[in-house]
Amino acid sequence: MFKKTTLAASVLLAIAAQPVLATNGMAPTGLDPLQQSMGGASAGYAANTMSMATNPAAASFVEDGYDIGAEVFKPSRSATFKGTAFGAPADATADGNGDELFLIPNAGYKRSLKGGLSVGITAYGNGGMNTAYDGGVPFGTAYFSGTPGSTGIDLKQLFIAPTASYKVNENVAVGASLNMVYQRFEAEGLGAFSGFSSVPANLTDKGGDSSTGVGASVGIQGKVTDKLSAGLAYRSKTKMGKFEKYSGLFPNGGEFNVPAATTLGIAYKATPQTTVAADIEQIEYSKIAAMGNAPGTPLPFGSANGPGFGWDDQTVYKLGVKHQLNEGLALMAGYNYGKSPISSDETTLNVLAPGITEKHASLGFEKKLTPKSKLVGSYVHAFKKTVTGNATVPPPGPLPLDAYDLKMDQDIIGLGYSVEF
């Protein structure tokens, strides 16, 4: 048990070193290659130890063992300044792909104890955002950085979640996780906004800063019939320590909390070889000041309840199918949809955080290596999405909040290794 826990901790350290850019807003579509293969559907489907990360009650129904995995994530993002709408001779497009590839590991471990109790731990990147405009971002007649220069942000979130689940009876279990969260942030090239900051010295180019916080997840999962299972999970809002180095950027002196999320899911054994799973998830971005407050809030950046990115809450629909082709091989496919939390009247600040992709299709396989071990592979494509800024001419004063067209698409390839004890 100690060796397996050490393995999970090692993967945790690897996660902490990696930047992440997610796809349902700033959240992953799934938390490991198996979930990714099935569109992220996992609240009612106890597939492996990583299912505990979505629904802690799944610990009572997955086999004892561990899972490790990693994904290579390749986003493509750009922003076009709508210059002609404001009297400039031409539009100008900025490429945000200064950083192209990202490695995202995950790990899970679970052990059954006596008396219907199961315990485990999961570690995963819960989300984040990265943009790197090496050539700068046009901002009226100047740039985001004030003068030509690199612009971008790097935000990453790591969850470490010790979990316990209790089997009420043979068909129903309840569970809870303690979410220990670490996040890191860095921004550069935002000098043009210094006049709108409460602490201009702590707005940009301060290097990396980190914060920690503790939250919780609770869940229930059960077998409704021999063929149908269902689950409901809730992750609380996590209040994080402040990014002191960026007290002039985020509201309340550098506050950036993690939003709450609620997920309802089912899994149905359509045939002895085929399982269909589906989830609905609600992510409460609007209740986090740094994310939900409108960029046009008439207060300086960093002030009490000051401006944020203006994201709406997001409802995500997840659907997956797993078919056992033969004794040693299963094939999977999935679809994931969540309307972009970014609207057409708030594109300027979201040049830094263009979490706009909506439609995701996925494929995967699960290959049995031995009676107790499996290899899982996944591929996800997030289809290109464009949010077109309204380009509203503002009254005398700052540039409009909707002066850019944002574009993004993504590809993710994952590989995982699963062992049952």
Query: Under 8 Å CB-to-CB from 114, ≥6 apart: which residues?
Result: none
pLDDT averaged over the chain?
92
Q: Give the burial class of 304: count Cβ atoms within 10 A of its Cβ; 0-12 exposed, 13-18 middle, 19 or more buried.
A: exposed
Give the Cα separation of 403 and 10 in Å (integer): 44
Bridge partners, 108 (sequence order):
67, 122
E strands within 21-171? Answer: 65-81, 92-95, 102-112, 117-133, 138-139, 142-143, 151-167
Q: How confident is the model at residue 394 (pLDDT cuts 50, 70, 90)?
A: low
CA contacts within 13 A on the Cβ side of 114:
0
Whether pLDDT at 388 is above 90 = yes
Q: Give the burial class of 13: count Cβ atoms within 10 A of its Cβ; 0-12 exposed, 13-18 middle, 19 or more buried.
A: exposed
- Lookup: tokens for 208: 């990396």
Nearest to 34 by CA among 280, 324, 362, 371: 362
**What are phi and psi for residue 27, nearest 5 degrees?**
-105, 145
Tell me if the pTM is above 0.85: yes
Whether pLDDT at 55 is above 70 = yes
What does the pLDDT average to over 269-293?
A: 97
Given its phi and psi angles, is residue 148 left (phi above 0), alpha (psi -120 to 50 degrees) or beta? beta
* Percent of the chain whose pLDDT exceeds 90: 82
* Percent of the chain whose pLDDT exceeds 70: 93
Whether pLDDT at 324 is above 60 = yes
Whether pLDDT at 80 is above 70 = yes
3 state SS of 246:
helix
Tell me the residue type at 131.
T
Q: How confident is the model at residue 149 (pLDDT cuts 50, 70, 90)?
A: confident
3 state SS of 318:
strand
Bridge partners, 409 (sequence order):
76
Give the Cα separation of 69 and 417 in Å (integer): 6
Whether pLDDT at 14 is above 60 = no
Q: How far apart are the first and last CA of the chain?
A: 10
Cβ contact 358:308 at 8 Å:
no
